[in-house]
Amino acid sequence: MPPIPSLEDLQELCGELDEESHEKFARFISKEKWDLDTIQSWLDEAVSNPRRFQREFQDLVTSLGNRLGFSKVDFGSYSSVSDRISYDGLWENDTLRIVIEVKLEPKFANIDQLGRYIDELSEERGDGKPTYGIFVIGKTEPKDLDPLLNQLRGNRKYADRIRVISHADLLKLAKIAEKNHLRNDQVSKILIPFDDANVGNLVEIIETIMEEERVASETPQLGEGKEERPSPIEVPKVPRASLSDLEEGDVAIYPSKPEGAEFLKQYQAWPARIGEWKNPRYFALYISNPDHAIKYFGEIEDLIDAEDSGIENPEDRKYLIGKKVIRLKEGSLRELSDPIRKGASVPFVAWRVPLSKFINANITDDLLS
């Protein structure tokens, strides 16, 4: 893999950024091939040399809106212009918009100016969509932000519409959102002023992150290497009612992140830590965020040792350590068109339930009643 270009490399190649090269640079840094570690390295380089890379820093911060799931990301202006509102960036989804002002140092943040951008944009759009503002600051020490935060708290007009975050914390949020498959509406509830009367919004987000952390350790994922790997199968989608033709027996339900479904389709098998087995007839897989539902079902062929599983890809085999492998009957894997949605309970450890109860459940809590 070729080395990642530095901001210095890019500037030597393309010259200093101006309004003409703005769009080209924005497209370049927004490419999906750049992971968040690459974005972080560029941000760190910009913060270490603020005089040289101030405009690059502005665009890199704005580009994080794509990683946070906003449906529209607008790279603003480098300087004041007469034909449009001169914000640094804009993030938008179906329910709100956030005006971004990027400052390498908090002393350059002007609360009233950002407030005017919010008001002008709301008036210009005229659609009634709530509009907020966020200062993203290059300085990362809390003491550096305290004067700006105190100034904002004392501003009666905009205190409830503007927030402040360091670029480092914004990047952390992007990584948390990516790792835990947070929806954009969940990310938005963290970023914008929230309803103090309903802290349930934050509880939901915390619960999602905790669920992802617990499920992650049980999720096998396909590595990048494709050698020694069978072709993935096409999985039919069926209603649970169609399972009523099967013989009665227990269903063993295991948890997974969405990536685990690809492993299951590839091998028609599932690595699991097995306590007391008791020979269940059937297998089911609960998928965490964003699905939060039991989505896959298959008929169990047998339980085998890892070395007998036929999984030869070295990157995939690392998920077999300390586990047995549940092998499904060939062609028996199905995706449920009416998955069992999450209730208050999640199968963080394997559940065993009768097939009849599995077919008739509405939510996961019904499987335990």
Residue 170: CATH number of its domain: 3.40.91.50
H/E segment holding residue 254: strand 250-256
Which of 193, 227, 255 is the C-terminal boundary of a domain? 193
**Do 158 and 299 sit in the same domain of this protein?**
no
The last residue of a domain, from among 164, 193, 222: 193
Identify whether residues 163 and 253 lie together within a single domain: no
Please tell me the predicted confidence (pLDDT) of residue 198: 57
Same domain, 255 and 327: yes
In this structure, are 161 and 278 located in the same domain?
A: no
Tell me if 223 is assigned to some domain. no
Is 144 found in the same domain as 29? Answer: yes
Structure tokens at 180: 């835990």
Whether residues 248 and 154 fall in one domain: no
Angle at 106 between CA 115 and CA 93, to 5 degrees: 45
Ordered per-residue pLDDT tens for the chain, 369 residues: 567 899 999 888 878 888 888 989 999 999 989 999 999 999 999 999 988 999 999 999 999 999 999 999 999 999 887 788 999 999 999 999 999 999 988 888 999 999 999 999 999 999 999 999 999 999 777 778 888 889 999 998 999 899 999 999 899 999 988 887 888 988 898 888 655 555 566 677 777 777 777 777 778 888 776 667 777 788 999 999 999 999 999 999 999 999 999 999 999 999 988 876 788 999 999 998 888 999 999 999 999 998 888 888 888 888 888 889 999 999 999 999 999 999 888 888 889 999 999 999 999 999 998
CATH of the domain at 285: 2.30.130
Q: Strands across the sheet with 72-75, in order?
A: 72-75, 89-92, 97-103, 131-137, 162-166
Same domain, 97 and 241: no
The continuous run of DSSP H or E covering 102 comes out as strand 97-103
Q: Is residue 213 part of a domain?
A: no
Domain closes at, from 159, 193, 227:
193
Residue 201: inside a domain, yes or no? Answer: no
What pTM was computed for the model? 0.66
Number of domains in the chain: 2
Instruction: Please report whether residue 217 resides in a domain.
Output: no
Residue 25 sits in the same domain as residue 169? yes
In a domain, 199, yes or no: no
**pLDDT, tens only, 214-258:** 777 778 888 776 667 777 788 999 999 999 999 999 999 999 999
Buried b (16+ CB within 10 A) or exposed e, 132-156: bbbbbbbbeeeeebeebeeebeeee
Q: Which of 91, 92, 329 is nearest to 101 (CA)?
A: 91
Angle, vertex CA 222, rays to CA 217 and CA 224, nearest 5: 125
Q: Do 157 and 14 belong together in one domain?
A: yes
pLDDT of residue 202: 67
* Amino acid in the structure at residue 87: Y
The answer as to whether 302 is a domain residue is: yes
31 and 180 together in one domain: yes
Shortest CA distance to 33 belongs to which of 53, 59, 4?
4
Q: What tokens were used for 64? A: 């994080």
The reply to whether 189 falls in a domain is yes
Same domain, 65 and 123: yes
H or E, element range at 206:
helix 200-216
User: Same domain, yes or no, for 32 and 168?
Assistant: yes
Domain housing 81 = 7-193
CB 125 within 8 A of CB 146: no
Residue 97 lies in a domain: yes
